[in-house]
Structure 1
């Protein structure tokens, strides 16, 4: 059972009834506006010790869990964060292919249709490949995590940081793919009524979440040479 610090607080995760909380409207973002990620405020709320998990427990107790789902290392759960980004990128790709297929003309060009432009066709091919690359990396990591959890085998540090590398790389691929597709769609895709710009705003906002930071892929490089110094607690 966690013990309080000198200041009387235990750093960790607390279970508190929602009836004892108030909501402060602080979520006013360009993207992900529908998540409603406002601030929960607890004033004068007492939380008993049995409703508290320290961060150290959260990061290490998964290895002793009975159910496979709860044996997944917290850092590997970042895979789930990529699902909405992957879906958004696929939606932009589908919408763009439909637009090109309808014979939309290419403005300020001698090409009668977008489909007649080699640059448009190359952009579609590159975007499709980037989305496929993201899917391959995410599938590899998801299968590795599922296999380890089902076998009650604790993934090695190298296996865990590879998940973080796959996630960061996939995030970058999806962002690059959508950039290409936005150029194909043209300025009209930024109309407030267009679904494409909403997908773009959501993806670009979500991709900045710290757990998806591609810069932390250096953890993988360290692990490849046997350096186990931590870069992030979420591994």
Structure 2
């Protein structure tokens, strides 16, 4: 939670007039990411229980979901950082470390939203030709 605090060098009203909106945005993005993650995990877990291998289209959708999850989490953390103010970017701040971790996680190939979206779209449309990555 982002504290309601005053800037040390300014007197008067709290310095977070937009903070509730940023917190709400962060919460919504986090909830959307959670729902996508649950759907993907459910699909991944259920296929072996049925004695099946997750098909190409299902794997592409899961990969696409992971790309969207990464984007949503990045947006949620960004909203929280904006709500907390510039002091949240200090190296000692937990939120700054989370921001860095999310950035690193989002840089992995399997979490790249653009490529995953392209592959999933091509498979949905039945496009011919090679895919940019192995699904």
Same fold (TM over 0.5): yes
- Which of 154, 161, 165 is equivalent to 2:53? 154
- Which of 118, 125, 128 is equivalent to 1:218? 118
Partner residue of 1:112?
A: 14
Q: CA deviation at 1:194?
A: 1.5
CA distance in structure 1 between the partners assigned to 2:12 and 2:122 by the alignment: 52
Q: CA deviation at 1:113?
A: 6.1
Structure 1 or 2, whichever has the larger Rg, is: 1
Gaps of 5+ in 1: 1-96
What TM-score do you get using the length of structure 2 for normalisation?
A: 0.87
Matching of residue 197 in structure 1 with residue 96 in structure 2: yes
CA distance in structure 2 between the partners assigned to 1:225 and 1:122 by the alignment: 38
CA distance in structure 2 between the partners assigned to 1:231 and 1:182 by the alignment: 34
Gaps of 5+ in 2: none
- Which of 37, 41, 60 is equivalent to 1:138? 37
Partner residue of 2:132?
A: 231
Cα distance change of structure 1 residues 110 and 162 upon mapping to structure 2, 3 Å threshold: farther
More strand by percentage = 1
CA distance in structure 1 between the partners assigned to 2:124 and 2:99 by the alignment: 34
The SS at the match of 2:133 is coil
Work out whether residues 66 and 111 of structure 2, in 8 Å CA contact, stay in contact via their aligned partners in 1: yes
Partner residue of 1:4?
A: none
Work out whether residues 29 and 72 of structure 2, in 8 Å CA contact, stay in contact via their aligned partners in 1: yes
CA distance in structure 2 between the partners assigned to 1:195 and 1:154 by the alignment: 40
CA distance in structure 2 between the partners assigned to 1:143 and 1:124 by the alignment: 29
More helix by percentage = 2
**How many residues are matched?**
132
Partner residue of 1:32?
A: none
RMSD: 2.0
Partner residue of 1:188?
A: 87
Work out whether residues 6 and 15 of structure 2, in 8 Å CA contact, stay in contact via their aligned partners in 1: yes
Match runs of 1:93-108 below 5 Å? 97=1, 99-100=2-3, 103-105=4-6
